Structure 1
C-alpha cells in the first residue's frame, strides 16, 4: 500500500445533522471508488478482517469460506501455491490499480518464472514459463528462475495521469455513493431533494483521505447507506445493510452459463422436521467451484445479479458507472467494460466454472535472448478429494466423526436426519439466487 499518499476531498455538510449531503471530487478520488469493483471477494475479506484492524468485520458466509481455506492444511490443496492463490487472489486490473493515488490492495503482483534449463533442446514445444513459482516443468525441474517483465499494458502508456476516468472530469458523489457529473443543475437538484433551502445550515469542509479512510470507505460501501457521513463522524458505521426481501427473487443469471460443465454430485444431510440442509459431502470439483467465489471481483458479482445486489451503496456505485459517458467521463469504452464486468486474473478460472466468468488472456511473452519464443502455462493433474460442507459454507475434510460432532453442536438428534443425493449443474446454479448458497447472498 502507498501508505504515505493522501488526497483532499471537498464535502458539503448539513451542520445541524452533521450529515454529508455530497462531495465534490476529481478523477483521483473517483478512480479509487471505481477500483472497489475490481477487488476479488477474498481480497475484500482479507483487507477488512486484519487482526490489527480494531473494527474488523465478518461478511457472513463469505468470511466463513475464507476462514475455511485458511484453516485447511496445505496437503488438501494441489500445492501451497493453490492455497495462497485463494487467500490472496490477484486483481486482473492490478496493472491499472497500481496507478491509483491510493492503492489499498497489497496483494503481490504477478511474477513470471521459467525453467532454469529452458535452453535444453528437449524443451521444444514444452511449457517453459509460469506465473506460479516451483511448478514442475515437463523436464522435471522446478520453474523457480524469476523473469523481469519489461513490457506493460498499452492502455497504461496512453497517459501519464488518471486511471479510469478522464483527468479533467469533475464529479458529485452523494452520501450513498452515487457518482454524477459536476454540473450546476445537479447541485441544485440534490439540495432540493434534501429539502435544503437555507444555505446557512450548510458548511463546506475539506477532508483528508489516506489509506485508512479508503479502507473505511470500502467497509462503508458494503455495510452502510451513508458511508461518507460515517467517514466524517469517524464512528461506527450505521450498518444499514439493504437485504432483499424474504421470498423476493433476485434477477436471473444470464443464460450464457457454461453449458460444458459437468454436473456435480452432492450428498446432503437434511433435518427431517424442518427440511433444513445441515451438512453435505462433496467432491473436489464442487469445492473448487465454491472456493472460486473468493477470486471473483466484486463488480462481477453485481453484474451476475443484474446490477441489483443486496448492497445499496455498491449498487449505486455500479449503476453510476453504467450511466457515465465512455467518451466524456471514462478514458475508454474498454476500461468501462473492464469495470462493469471485471474478469478473473490469469490462471484463476476453476476447471468446472459454471458461472459466466472469464479470465484475462495470457499475454504473449518473448525472451530477449536466443531469438523470440512464445511460452505456454503449465497444467495440473487431478486426484480425488472428499469434503464436508456446512450450511454456512464452512468447509472441512470429511470424516464420519466430524458429522457426529457437527450434529451434536447443532443439537439435532440422529433420528431427525436423513441423507439425500442431488446433482448440481447449470440449472441449479441459475436458480441459486433463491437460496443462501448463491454467491450474491454471501454478501448479505
Structure 2
C-alpha cells in the first residue's frame, strides 16, 4: 500500500515524560477526523478481536462463525464485517485513510434488488426475493441490479481532498484536542501545565506509518494521553537501539 509522508513535531516534557502537544499539518488532521467516519465493524477489523476492550469483538467473531444458513438470502457477511467507508454523496474521502490498512468491503456491487415478477408496472422493490407484491401478491423475484452512484463532487472538501485546509499548522493536544496553532495557544499550554523551566522541554519529529496509525486509532478509544502512550515508548526504543 502506498503511504503519504505524515509527520508530527512533538513537544515533550522530559521531566514529566509527557507529550504536551504536537504540531501537525493537514495530513494528520485529516486522518484524525476520518476516525469518526469509520464504522464499528472497521474499527474491530483494524484492531483485531483480541485487542478489543469489552464485548464488541465477540459480536464480530460470532458473525464470522455463524453459518450463512441463518442469514437472510440477501445478507452478505462482508457488509457487516468489512463495511464500506463512505461520506454523503456515495464517494469515499480521498487521501485520508492511508495510515490505516484497507478493510473496505467490495460486496456493494453484488447487492440484489427484486421487483414484482408478474408486472413491471407495480413500482415496488424488495431486497428479499421471498417478499410478496402488495398489489397482486406475486413473488418479488424479478431481479434488478444495484448500481453505485457516480463519484460526486462534494463541496464540503476542497480540491486538495480531505477535511481541513492545508495552509494552516494545527496544534494537537495529548488527548487529541485539535485547534489552529498560534504563539498564544502555545504559551497557554505551557502555563496550563505549569512549565517553569523550558530546558526540560524537547521537540522531536516522528514519522507515521500504518503501524502508528493503528496504534493511534486504538489509543483514541481508551486513552486521554494518546500521543504520549503511542510515541514515547517508540522514541525510548529508538534511543535504546542507538545506544547499543
Q: Which ranges of structure 2 fall in alignment gaps of 5 or more residues?
A: 131-138, 235-244
Tell me the residue number matched to 2:105: 108
Separation in 1, partners of 2:56, 2:45: 11
Query: Are the counterparts in 2 of residues 100 and 163 from structure 1 also a CA contact under 8 Å?
Result: yes
Q: Does 1:95 align with 2:101?
A: no
What is the alpha-carbon distance in structure 2 between the residues aligned to residue 21 and residue 213 of structure 1?
Answer: 18
Q: Note closer, same or farther for the CA distance 1:158–1:217 as it changes in structure 2 (3 Å cut).
A: closer
Q: Deviations over 1:221-247 (max 9, x none)?
A: 112221111221346xxxxxxxxxxxx
The Cα shift of 1:99 comes to 2.9
Shift of 1:71: 2.0
How many angstroms apart in 2 are the aligned matches of 1:127 and 1:29?
46
Inter-partner Cα distance in structure 1 for 2:46 and 2:198: 39
**Who is 2:70 aligned against?**
76
Distance in 2 (CA, whole Å) between partners of 1:233 and 1:46 is 26
* Superposed counterparts of 1:315-334, under 5 Å: none
The list of structure 1 runs, each at least 4 consecutive aligned residues, that deviate by more than 6 angstroms after superposition, is: none
Preserved contact between residue 3 and residue 210 of structure 1 (Cα < 8 Å): no
Whether the aligned pair in 2 keeps the contact of 1:11 and 1:20 (CA below 8 Å) is yes
Q: CA RMSD in A?
A: 3.4
Structure 2 vs 1, CA of residues 10 and 59 (structure 1 numbering), >3 Å: closer, same or farther? same
Scaled by the length of structure 1, the TM-score of the pair is 0.43
Cα distance in 1 between the residues matched to 2:106 and 2:28: 23
Q: How many residues align?
A: 222
State the match for 1:184 in structure 2: 183
Per the TM alignment, residue 76 of structure 1 is displaced from its structure 2 partner at its CA by 1.1
Q: Which residue pairs with 2:230 in the alignment?
A: 231
Q: Deviations over 1:97-131 (max 9, x none)?
A: 3331625252125744598xx9xx96456579x9x
Superposed displacement of residue 178, structure 1: 1.1
Structure with the bigger RCO (C-alpha within 8 Å, sep 6+) is 2
SS of residue matched to 1:60? coil
Give the SS at the match of 1:46: helix
Cα deviation, residue 77, structure 1: 1.0
Gaps of at least 5 residues in structure 1 are: 51-55, 236-444
Secondary structure in structure 2 of the residue aligned to 1:34: helix
Q: Which residue of the partner structure matches residue 237 of structure 2?
A: none
Which whole-Å deviations, capped at 9, do the CAs of 1:345-399 have from their partners, x for residues lacking one? Answer: xxxxxxxxxxxxxxxxxxxxxxxxxxxxxxxxxxxxxxxxxxxxxxxxxxxxxxx
Contact 1:96 1:156 (C-alpha < 8 Å) held by counterparts: no
TM-score, normalised via structure 2 length? 0.75
Shift of 1:195: 1.6
